[in-house]
Amino acid sequence: MSDPIGQWSIIVQARDSLGNSGTSTQTTVTITKNDLSIDSLTTYNGKGSPTISFSSGDTLNAFFRIKYDTPVPTYLTTGQYPVGLQDPTGKLVANLTATYDGSLFGFYTSSGYPVSGVNQGGTWTLVIYPNSINDGFGNTGPGITASVPVQIVVVTSPLSDWPFILAGVIAVVGAVATAKRLDMTLEGFQHLEQLMGGPLPRGASIILSGDAGSGKTILAYQLLHDELESGKLCALLSYDAFPEDVQARMNEFGWDIVSPLRKGRLKIIDCYSSLAGHGEGAIKDPSDLTELNIQITAFIGKAKGGPVTVVLDSLTPIFNGVEEKQGVNFIQTVSAKVKKTGGLFIQTASRGAISEDAAAKLRTMADGVIELNVTRSHGKIHRFLSVVKMERRKIGSASMPFEIDRNRGFVFRVSRISLFRNKISSFFSERRVLRNAKPPARRGESPLAKSPTARQSQNATSEKSN
């Protein structure tokens, strides 16, 4: 993508060991530009939630991705690009600047447009004008205007009420914020087991689904690290990163995989190098699911009947490269093979990256589904995790806030009151189990007859009667 467009000349020069040499005739080839198109143009409010309705006090932000029109989807990740905002009359009201946000894997207007009571209510339009994007190498786009309509709703209140309303809101918000801050504490990765109703079930397939930048890959890496720590034989099908990048990313969190790689307890099947055009990885053609299936089967065979954990990161390139039915059948086949060993098949999937029909089929086939969400508010990223499905488990329906700590990985923000209540409930549950586990007295036998003292007393009475 970074080569200049235009005519290039190719001349081949050769020389053998006897001193003979020659030069070929010049061949001219033309490198043409790749058109750029806009993908996933969406509007967010100041809380980081996707919406098309805004009111006074909200901030209107734009998010989109820039895609090269190539057979294998490739996205632009550099530069700053303008986004226009038009009022209901078509007048350009603001020019926003979108820059690339690595946590969201797209361009985001972090400053946004503040909506106020003086704005005209009605249908506004967020627009990206034709050929307003240039990657610096001659590739431009979009070919036509990309736009999305948004609704601006202006609500007015009597000015005399504002001081009292504002004072009340500040007081309530301050009290709630203080109470929440004092009540919250950070719990480690083991808290995920409480959300799932226990450890990850063996012989199961798990889908980690969520927004871009929500932490799906990091969660998959942490689960992979835990499986390696417990002595499991593991494989990572990497469709989104080079093997050396996987190792570097896991090292950031202190999850060393060099030793498992050397000992053969971990195998990284490189499906990304060929996809990214950087030579051939373990799979020459990432869309060749037959070859990939053969390699997975051979790896499972090394376990000689023992449990195997397979992590696939991610499903998106597979469903972009093959037909939906073929992709679903492949996932179903791999899942059956891994589950038969009593192992785990963990897959990551970006929300909206594959068709809703395929996503629904995969969720139905999976034994567990964990969803991750990300929102932005006042320049901060807020992440949430919820366990939507876990076979044979009683799970909670709460969406749990979490952070990604460089030393601990996933840490959850948990209410101290809830933790205390759970500990009390667990204590009484254990007491109840122990009480019910005591063997009952045999029919017709007095409880005293079980003690040595009672038996001695009974023998003494018998001797006296004799």
CATH number, residue 133? 2.60.40.1930
The pLDDT assigned to 22 comes to: 83
114 and 210 part of one domain:
no
196 and 148 part of one domain:
no
When pLDDT is cut at 50, 70 and 90, the band that residue 377 belongs to is confident
Residue 433 forms part of a structural domain: no
146 and 264 part of one domain:
no
Residue 198 forms part of a structural domain: yes
210 and 337 part of one domain:
yes
434 has a pLDDT exceeding 80: no
CATH, residue 396: 3.40.50.300
pLDDT tens column, 32-51: 566 899 988 999 998 888 99
Task: Over range 249-267, report the average pLDDT.
Answer: 93
Structure tokens belonging to residue 429: 């549950």
Please work out, in degrees rounded to the nearest 5, the angle formed at the alpha carbon of residue 211 by the alpha carbons of 239 and 50: 150
3-state class percentages of the chain: helix first, strand second, coil last, to nearest 5: 35, 30, 35
Task: Over range 370-374, report the average pLDDT.
Answer: 93
pLDDT tens column, 197-226: 888 899 999 999 998 889 999 999 999 999
92 and 208 part of one domain:
no
218 and 350 part of one domain:
yes
Say what the pTM is: 0.53
Residue 292 forms part of a structural domain: yes
Residue 177 forms part of a structural domain: no
CA–CA dist 141, 237 (Å, integer): 34
94 and 133 part of one domain:
yes
Question: Which of 153, 175, 200 finishes a domain?
Answer: 153
Residue 166 forms part of a structural domain: no
CA–CA dist 408, 219 (Å, integer): 11
370 has a pLDDT exceeding 90: yes
144 and 239 part of one domain:
no
When pLDDT is cut at 50, 70 and 90, the band that residue 426 belongs to is low
46 and 195 part of one domain:
no
Query: Contact 114/45 with Cβ under 8 angstroms?
Result: no
Structure tokens belonging to residue 276: 């990214």
Instruction: Name the residue range of residue 113's domain.
Output: 36-153
Question: Which of 112, 134, 153 finishes a domain?
Answer: 153
Residue 28 forms part of a structural domain: no
CA–CA dist 415, 183 (Å, integer): 5
Question: Which of 420, 439, 456 finishes a domain?
Answer: 420
Query: Contact 395/198 with Cβ under 8 angstroms?
Result: no
Query: Contact 100/77 with Cβ under 8 angstroms?
Result: yes
139 and 239 part of one domain:
no
Residue 3 forms part of a structural domain: no
60 has a pLDDT exceeding 70: yes
Q: How far is CA 307 from the centre of its chain?
A: 25
The pLDDT assigned to 73 comes to: 77
**Residue 368 carries which side chain, given as an amino acid letter?**
G
Q: What is the DSSP letter of 265?
A: S
Region class of 216: left (phi > 0), else alpha (psi between -120 and 50), else beta: alpha
195 and 338 part of one domain:
yes
191 and 311 part of one domain:
yes
CA–CA dist 411, 88 (Å, integer): 45
86 has a pLDDT exceeding 90: yes
Q: What percent of the chain is modeled with pLDDT above 90?
A: 47
Q: How many domains, in total, are found in the chain?
A: 2
Residue 428 forms part of a structural domain: no
The pLDDT assigned to 237 comes to: 94
